[in-house]
């Protein structure tokens, strides 16, 4: 077993009131030699001010190209027990709900074949198991996928569809306007082949929020953001509004002045909303939950192009479909057809490591909309125009 080393720099991270990942690694290191070496290499990284991991690419299991992230130490002579320290992504259940037996099964496998360290949950949404060797990967996959109860599948990694994820939706939230749990489960099953076999220019992410509050930050973290919304009028309980004001609620300061399109007004007795100009931002509803409720005609807004910074910097998704009816049990055919068109265009035109939003910026929204057969509408505007020229398609112009 590797000799226990001093970690004065890491020890500093245990101070303070918050839980420390260093403390948890030390607990694992008490009975796991790879965790001991992980501590040593991490301390060295702080001393050298550089990471000591080599980019290892993908390490697959039989029939899969994704789900396992290869990781190798660049100082294996010092830390031989983490020469290989691969990460396994397990496809999480919708809304991240587990029972204790499911978690115990995973932990037993990981104690046996891995470092014992987990991350619940990774940025993509998966359950992340940190640190195992190549020779154990197939065994781990065989065991987790054949659990007697709650068998688990690998998540996405590499240039493919990353594991779709969603908020807790109707399981816990009164504002959920679509069944995020059902939709996420349905899309995951429908597109499993895209999830497990890298075939695209780069990764593509789907995240689903039940309402425009977007608690999973899908607009900033996914190429395709699906957010529950409504398209009829906000429901107003005028008596409840008056009770808010009578109780000292600053309706002008907290609601009226904060409306982004100034479509809401209060005359001292009644609240009125110009619903045609409402952007469904939810601010007024969040502030006056007893008086305002979303409408009953519910579905989802589809946004496109969000991603974290790599090539073009961080990008927020922008609206591409203002409203799509998404009802549980419907099969979601309209959404699936839309996704297939989007991915086909991206796959044919994208450069290596070019995300969907970057490709749209490079080739233009005009080409994108034609490819996916959508008519341009004002809601698709990502930002006010800076170019004074509008270029028509040749067949749309009339030559004298």
Q: Using one digit for the tens of pLDDT, what is the confidence trace for 176-192?
A: 999 999 999 999 999 99
d(CA 341, CA 372): 5
Q: Give the class (CATH, top level) of 161-231+298-394.
A: alpha beta
Q: Say what the pLDDT of residue 190 is.
A: 95
In sequence order, the 6+-apart residues with CB closer than 8 A to the CB of 84 are: 70, 71, 72, 132, 133, 134
Q: Supply the DSSP string of 220-286, one letter for each residue.
A: HH-SEEEEEEE-SPPEE-HHHHHHHHHTT--HHHHTGGG-TT--EEE-SS-EEE-GGG-----HHHH
d(CA 196, CA 276): 43
Q: Say what the pLDDT of residue 349 is.
A: 96
pLDDT per residue over 71-120, tens digit each? Answer: 999 999 999 999 999 999 999 999 999 999 999 999 999 999 999 999 99
d(CA 202, CA 349): 12
Q: Say what the pLDDT of residue 91 is.
A: 95
Q: Where are the domains of the chain?
A: 8-146, 161-231+298-394, 235-293
Q: Do domains 8-146 and 161-231+298-394 have the same CATH topology?
A: no
Peptide bond into 121 cis (omega under 30): yes
Taking domain 235-293, whether its CATH number is 3.30.70.20 is answered by yes
For the domain made up of 8-146, give the CATH fold. Alpha-Beta Plaits (3.30.70)
């Amino acid at each position: 077993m590797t000799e226990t080393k001093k970690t004065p720099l890491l020890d500093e991270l245990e101070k303070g009131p918050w839980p420390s990942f260093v403390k948890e690694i030390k607990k694992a290191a008490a009975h796991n030699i790879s965790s001991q070496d992980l501590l040593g290499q991490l301390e060295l990284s702080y001393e050298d001010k550089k990471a000591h991991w080599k980019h290892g690419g993908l390490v697959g299991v039989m029939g899969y190209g994704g789900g396992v992230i290869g990781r190798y130490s660049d100082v294996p002579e010092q830390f031989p027990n983490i020469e290989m320290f691969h990460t396994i992504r397990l496809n999480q259940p919708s809304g991240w709900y587990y029972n204790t037996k499911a978690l115990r099964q995973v932990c037993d496998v990981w104690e046996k074949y891995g470092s014992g360290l987990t991350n619940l949950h990774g940025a993509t949404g998966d359950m992340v198991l940190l640190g195992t060797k190549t020779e154990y990967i197939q065994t781990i996959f065989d065991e987790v996928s054949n659990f007697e109860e709650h068998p688990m599948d690998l998540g996405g990694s590499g240039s493919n569809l990353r594991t779709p994820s969603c908020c807790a939706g109707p399981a816990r939230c009164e504002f959920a306007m679509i069944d995020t749990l059902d939709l996420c489960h349905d899309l995951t099953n429908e597109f499993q082949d895209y999830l497990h076999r890298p075939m695209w220019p780069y990764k593509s992410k789907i995240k689903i929020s039940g309402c425009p509050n977007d608690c999973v930050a899908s607009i900033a973290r996914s190429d395709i953001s699906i957010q529950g919304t409504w398209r009829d009028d906000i429901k107003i309980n005028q008596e409840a509004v008056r009770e808010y004001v009578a109780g000292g609620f600053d309706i002008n300061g907290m609601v009226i002045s904060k409306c982004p399109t100034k479509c809401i007004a209060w005359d001292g007795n009644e609240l009125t909303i110009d619903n045609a100009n409402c952007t469904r931002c939810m601010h007024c509803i969040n502030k006056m939950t007893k008086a305002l409720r979303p409408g009953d005609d519910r579905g989802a807004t589809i946004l496109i192009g969000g991603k974290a910074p790599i090539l073009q910097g961080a990008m927020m998704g922008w609206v591409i479909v203002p409203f799509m009816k998404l009802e549980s049990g419907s099969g979601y055919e309209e959404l699936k057809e839309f996704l297939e068109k989007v991915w086909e265009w991206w796959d044919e035109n994208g450069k290596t490591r070019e995300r969907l939003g970057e490709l749209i910026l490079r080739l233009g929204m005009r080409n994108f909309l034609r490819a996916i057969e959508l008519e341009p509408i004002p809601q698709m505007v990502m930002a006010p125009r800076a170019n004074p020229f509008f270029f028509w398609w040749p067949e749309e112009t009339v030559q004298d």
